[in-house]
A = this chain, B = another copy of it.
């Protein structure tokens, strides 16, 4: 039997920080046919609330360290405010959304990142996706909306990378579905030249990927993002697309498709 196609769409700060852009994106997302899952990152609000609460951001090697007070703030902002705002907006657009953290129905089990040189605090690394209960929701026409909070099954909530959650959910669901992973970010796709916002490389396979890294076209922040995408493809995800917020519109033709 042919598997149904499931779309897993990830949005980040660039869409979330602008309410108008977010609501417009959510309208397009609500209009997508078939089973789908939304994964959202954080955004500016967590920083606002943190500083209102008198917390100083702690960084080690350019990475945020999540202490106990910070994991409380991100749980409030990501799992509370952002998640429920998104869910309420999708409901308005007749998409039967249901917001989830990894703790809910044990959907995403993680562990606190192992301390090697640096203790990143309550940062989660994903161990397992509970595809069975996610499938129950999908089969009842519910659209799961994941925030980037997981748990360790021992009562501890963990701040987790939203790109990782999106790819792990897509991988976890790929036994049951033909999964397509969409990453929405600030550009129209992977660019040939950073100075030309329309110079989108429309197709990248494993070989081209290596060439683009060697040529320095894929560099810096794009490296872990692309690594995450190719890892998802190797682990069973059928297709990965990268583009801006118009990626979920049926009319959009300019984006990057990744394949093995």
Contact = CB atoms under 8 A, between A and B. Distances in A.
Contact of A104 (B75, B99, B154): B99
Name which of A103, A106, A156 has the most chain B CB atoms within 10 A of its CB. A103
Interface in A100-156: 100-101, 103-106, 133, 136, 140, 142, 149, 151, 153-156
A253 interface: no
Count of chain copies: 2
A176 to B, nearest CB: 15
Contact of A87 (B92, B104, B140): B104
Contact of A101 (B54, B75, B87, B140): B87
Interface in A29-83: 49, 52-54, 72, 75-81, 83
Interface in A233-253: none
A84 B54 contact: no
A54 B153 CA distance: 35
Interface residues of A, number: 42
Contact of A98 (B81, B84, B87, B104): B104
A46 B49 CA distance: 13
A96 B153 CA distance: 10
Interface string A82-97: 0111011101100011
Given A105-B96, A133-B140, A81 B87 contact: no
Contact of A88 (B81, B91, B140, B156): B156
Contacts of A84: 75, 79, 101, 103-104, 149, 151, 157
A155 B104 contact: no
15 contacts: A75-B80, A75-B85, A76-B76, A76-B77, A79-B79, A87-B101, A87-B103, A87-B104, A88-B103, A88-B151, A91-B103, A96-B105, A97-B103, A98-B105, A136-B140
